[in-house]
Amino acid sequence: MIAKNLPHKTVERLSQYRRSLLLILSNEKTHVFSHEIAQMLHITPVQVRRDLMLIGYSGNLRKGYDIKELIEMIGNIIDTEKGQKVAVIGLGNLGKAFISYFKGKRTKLTMVAAFDINPDKIDRIYDGVPCYHIDRISEIMKKENINIGIITVPADQAPGIAERLVLAGAKGILNYSPKPLNVSPYVYLEEYDMITSLEKVAFFAKKNDERSK
Ligand code: NAD
């Protein structure tokens, strides 16, 4: 199957294409060219065409890609039919921000639980999401059929949380803590560090600064 062999970067860009397409979707605009998508995402039209060819989508040369059709096609690749359930572990600043930001954004991914150790947060509902004690992670994940976990606990707690997530049946983990993790090859792990993004921007800002002198 095409979808199984997609490069990780292509999957990342498909999500970005869908986000951009949803933004430009309007009654007046029904079609979009690869160069328009490329311009929005600061990549080349060749890259866009290559990614879309990988998912078996080719547009109309004269009219471009049908926006609605493409959004649906990307959805068929990225999402599952029934959708997937997500839990946040660590309902602090970042965990709460994630839940609020995510609310209502995607129909196929639902945030259904948060876990914490702080008694002030447990058995409360935050933005529609109930918070449970971390010791109930296995029980709740199995009961709610949660297969994705987002780690937003302090760094020293992250490896133990990753282990508990895997034992509870997680198939995907997004790690926001600065602690790099090791998990079974059957669990997809994505690690995101804001400082890395900022340092990348700072590096290119420095280069642009030097160029303009
Ligand atoms: P925070 O202190 O506000 O929140 C951490 C939460 O985790 C608290 O509610 C705490 O009670 C809970 N917690 C602690 N140990 C736990 C455990 N064993 N099980 C369950 N819950 C537990 O911290 P924050 O600012 O939200 O940051 C959270 C993590 O994200 C940190 O590791 C931080 O370094 C990282 N962070 C990452 C980025 C990024 O870009 N990746 C940005 C900011 C923060």
pLDDT digits (tens, 9 = 90+) for 54-66: 999 888 888 899 9
Establish whether residue 120 lines the binding site of ligand 1, counting it when its CB lies within 6 angstroms of any ligand atom.
no
Residue 1 confidence (pLDDT):
44
Of 29, 56, 77, which residue is a domain's last?
Answer: 77
Low-confidence ranges of the chain (pLDDT < 70): 1-4, 27
Establish whether residue 117 lines the binding site of ligand 1, counting it when its CB lies within 6 angstroms of any ligand atom.
yes
Cα torsion 199, 203, 206, 212: sign:
negative
User: What is the DSSP code string of the chain?
Assistant: -TGGG--HHHHHHHHHHHHHHHHH--SS--EE-HHHHHHHHTS-HHHHHHHHHHTT---BTTTBEEHHHHHHHHHHHHS-SS-EEEEEE--SHHHHHHHHHHTTT-SSEEEEEEEES-TTTTT-EETTEEEEEGGGHHHHHHHHTEEEEEE-S-GGGHHHHHHHHHHTT-SEEEE-SSS-----TTSEEEE--HHHHHHHHHHHHHHHHHHT-
Residue 122 and residue 180 in one domain = yes
Residue 187 confidence (pLDDT):
97
Residue 17 and residue 111 in one domain = no
Query: What type of residue is 11?
Result: V
Residue 25 and residue 114 in one domain = no
121 inside domain: yes
CATH of the domain at 37: 1.10.10.10
Residue 48 and residue 115 in one domain = no
213 inside domain: no
Domain span at residue 22? 3-77
Residue 149 and residue 170 in one domain = yes
Residue 181 confidence (pLDDT):
97
CATH of the domain at 131: 3.40.50.720
Q: Which ligand 1 atom is at minimum distance from the Cα of 153?
A: 7
Residue 108 confidence (pLDDT):
87
Residue 27 confidence (pLDDT):
67
183 inside domain: yes
208 inside domain: no
Establish whether residue 92 lines the binding site of ligand 1, counting it when its CB lies within 6 angstroms of any ligand atom.
yes
204 inside domain: no
Residue 3 confidence (pLDDT):
58
Of 19, 51, 77, which residue is a domain's last?
Answer: 77
Q: How many domains does the chain have?
A: 2
Residue 92 and residue 161 in one domain = yes
Which of 89, 118, 121, 153 is the pocket-test mutation for ligand 1 (most atoms within 8 Å of CB)?
153
Of 77, 106, 140, which residue is a domain's last?
Answer: 77
Residue 52 and residue 101 in one domain = no
